[in-house]
Amino acid sequence: MEPLDRIPPVPFTWLLEPTHCVVLTNSDSNFHAVKKDVSDCESCVGRRIVCCHDLEDKELICSRNLFPRTKELKSVVHSAPGWKLFGKVPPRENLQKASKIIQQEYEARTGRTCKPSTQSSRRKNFEFEPLSTTALILEDRPSNLPAKSVEEALRHRQEYDEMVAEAKKREIKEAHKRKRIMKERFEQEENIANAMVIWINEILPNWEVMRSTRRVRELWWRGLPPRVRGKVWSLAVGNELNITPELYEIFLSRAKERWKSFSETSSENDTEGVSVADREASLELIKLDISRTFPSLFIFQKGGPYHDVLHSILGAYTCYRPDVGYVQGMSFIAAVLLLNLEEADAFIAFANLLNKPCQLAFFRVDHSMMLKYFATFEVFFEENLSKLFLHFKSYSLTPDIYLIDWIFTLYSKSLPLDLACRVWDVFCRDGEEFLFRTGLGILRLYEDILLQMDFIHIAQFLTKLPEDITAEKLFSCIAAIQMQNSTKKWTQVFASVMKDIKEEEKNSSPALKS
């Protein structure tokens, strides 16, 4: 036998159990360290294999580190890969069993037979393929898990059918809703087109004669067609101030000169101090308010098509009425007018609109007049919504908390723009009375919700009304409000309130006044 030092390195696999054989992997038939007689080993017959028990110097081979020493030797399947010299194969104990073997072991242990159905057989009977994961309840479990029982499969099928039925119901309901909305929109557009013909051909040419007729008032209540809205607003508001487009250009040029001088002397004014009225009339405050006017439209902000025009109207008005100046909320009124009128006509309507007694009292912050309007409002509030009126009284919630914002912007900030224009339509017909009637209509619309709220939540709710309010619901609530108290209408009640307040002031002592 040749010494082991001369034996060339031969890649082979040492299988300990159950054959205890060394498998030769090279073509050399001479391996002098072992015997070639393997006739007594049944598993080695006909193969280039030698038995371990025939090795003459097995301990010598192990001492030369040809094979690793292992204290505990585990039996493995003969066909499974084992340790290999000069290679890196994962150990046998880390190998995971195949799913088929796991299934066979489960069937042998439980006596059940798992017959997984193919995906085509699972899906071919479905009427439609849902996009969500709800259909997973019908999927068969993996083959290495217990199969569903008949009862569980039926229950899952029933749950799935219920979910599909609910989804179909929602889809049908949404389809009907969309169809109804499209039908209503088509009818509305058709009514607007028919009304526009009547306004252009019959009413506007005979405005002074027909404006107070019952037919025109009914058409007015339904809403003015957008094409004639600006013209009707101008005629309804009037021009008591006799403002001309030329006069507007004069005040606009004055405003531009004032802005130029203001920008040059702004640093000096900051150091010396500026009055509140001057600050409100300043360019900076107007710029700030314009940027917050209908921000969702992106037409009044800087760079928008109506930014400079709106800025010009507000600036010209501050020069035209320095006693009023600029007050926050004016930008919304001017913006609505600009959406329906040309620049000069919008300024004329704007100046005349703010010259109305109610608007003048609010924009000049005449507290005594504002309190009289609030007191008159509460008379009709108690008359129409007595339960909600008492609820507000219990929290000492006064009308100024929510009415001021509504009146200052004529609901253009609180309501959706199209709905605010509907309110403006009837406001131009009925005057200031309709502004307070609209407020009562809003309270009536949300009466059930407001009765469940406390002071803070009521104030927050009325400050920011829901955006899904519709014209039909609001105007039906407004129509239900009766602006009559003991046979007295709005103007009569307002006059009596003013008289009562004057008598109280006359009879009150100087100490109470202070």
Task: Note the pLDDT of residue 488.
Answer: 85
Four-CA torsion 368, 374, 375, 381, nearest 10 degrees: 180
Local confidence band at 266 (pLDDT 50, 70, 90 cut-offs): low
Report residue 414's pLDDT band, with 50, 70 and 90 as the boundaries: very high
Residue 473 has pLDDT above 90, yes or no: yes
Maximum average pLDDT range among 1-10, 280-289, 452-461: 452-461
The enclosing domain of 337 has a CATH number of 1.10.8.270
Q: Which of 19-28, 39-48, 255-264, 419-428 has maximum average pLDDT?
A: 419-428
Residue pair 56/34 in contact (Cβ under 8 Å)? The answer is: yes
Dist. CA 415–CA 399, nearest whole Å:
18
Residue 282, domain member (yes or no): yes
Same domain, 393 and 477: yes
408 assigned to some structural domain: yes
CATH of residue 453's domain is: 1.10.472.80
Question: Same domain, yes or no, for 326 and 456?
Answer: no
| Residue 369 included in any domain | yes
Q: What is the pLDDT of residues 356-384, one digit of tens each?
A: 999 999 999 999 999 999 999 999 999 99
Q: Is there a single domain that holds both residue 379 and residue 500?
A: yes
Mean pLDDT lowest among 94-98, 252-256, 442-446: 94-98
Give percent above pLDDT 70 in the chain: 68
The residue from 355, 379, 409 where one domain ends is 355
The pLDDT of 11-29, averaged and rounded, is: 44
The percentage of residues in the chain with a pLDDT greater than 90, rounded to a whole number, is 51
DSSP track, 27-57: S----TTB----TT-GGGTTSSEEEGGGBSS
Report if residue 173 sits inside a domain: yes
Residue 261's pLDDT is: 77
The reply to whether 366 and 463 lie within a common domain is yes
Among candidate residues 336, 367, 368, the one with its CA nearest the CA of residue 354: 336
19 compared with 467, residue with greater pLDDT: 467
Predicted confidence at residue 156, as pLDDT, reads: 87
Residues in CB range of 429: below 8 A, 6 or more apart = 217, 220, 221, 236
Say if 432 falls within a structural domain: yes
The residue among 37 and 256 whose pLDDT is bigger is 256
278 — pLDDT class (breaks 50, 70, 90): low
Q: What's residue 103's pLDDT?
A: 65
Kindly tell me if the per-residue pLDDT of 53 is higher than 80. no
Token pair for residue 449? 């919700």
DSSP SS3 for 393: helix
> Domain range holding 163?
151-222
The DSSP letter of residue 488 is E
**Same domain (yes/no): 341, 374:** no
* pLDDT value for 141: 75
Q: Are residues 197 and 244 in the same domain?
A: no
Strand-pair category, 484-485 with 488-489? antiparallel
**pLDDT of amino acid 232:** 96
User: Region 332-359: what's the mean pLDDT?
Assistant: 96
- Between the two ends of the chain, the Cα-to-Cα distance in Å is 131
Per-residue confidence band for 503, with pLDDT thresholds at 50, 70 and 90:
confident
Q: What is the mean pLDDT of the chain?
A: 78
Most confident of 21-30, 85-94, 427-436: 427-436
Domain boundary among 292, 323, 355: 355
- The pLDDT, as a whole number, for residue 246 is 96
- Is 250 inside a domain boundary? yes
pLDDT (average), residues 299-323:
92
User: Both 293 and 377 in a single domain?
Assistant: no
348 lies in the same domain as 458: no
Total domains in the fold of the chain:
3
Residues 6+ apart with CB under 8 A from 268: none
Q: Residue length, the chain?
A: 514
Lowest mean per-residue pLDDT among 108-112, 139-143, 376-380: 108-112
Structural domain contains residue 175: yes
**Band of residue 143 on the pLDDT scale cut at 50, 70, 90:** confident
pTM score, whole prediction: 0.66
Q: Are residues 218 and 293 in the same domain?
A: no
Higher per-residue confidence, 51 vs 205: 205
Same domain flag for 179 and 311: no
User: Do 398 and 487 share a structural domain?
Assistant: yes
Give residue 270's identity as a one-letter amino acid code: D
**Bigger pLDDT: 482 vs 22:** 482
Look at residue 44 and tell me if it is in a domain.
Answer: no
Distances from the Cα of 8 to the Cαs of 1, 2, 84, 119, 394, in angstroms? 14, 11, 17, 56, 106
Predicted pLDDT of residue 83: 46
The whole-number pLDDT of residue 114 equals 55
Domain C-terminal end among 355, 374, 403? 355
Task: Tell whether 374 and 347 lie within a shared domain.
Answer: no
Least confident of 121-130, 192-201, 208-217, 452-461: 121-130
pLDDT at 257 over 50: yes
User: Per residue in 379-407, pLDDT tens?
Assistant: 999 999 999 999 999 999 999 999 999 99
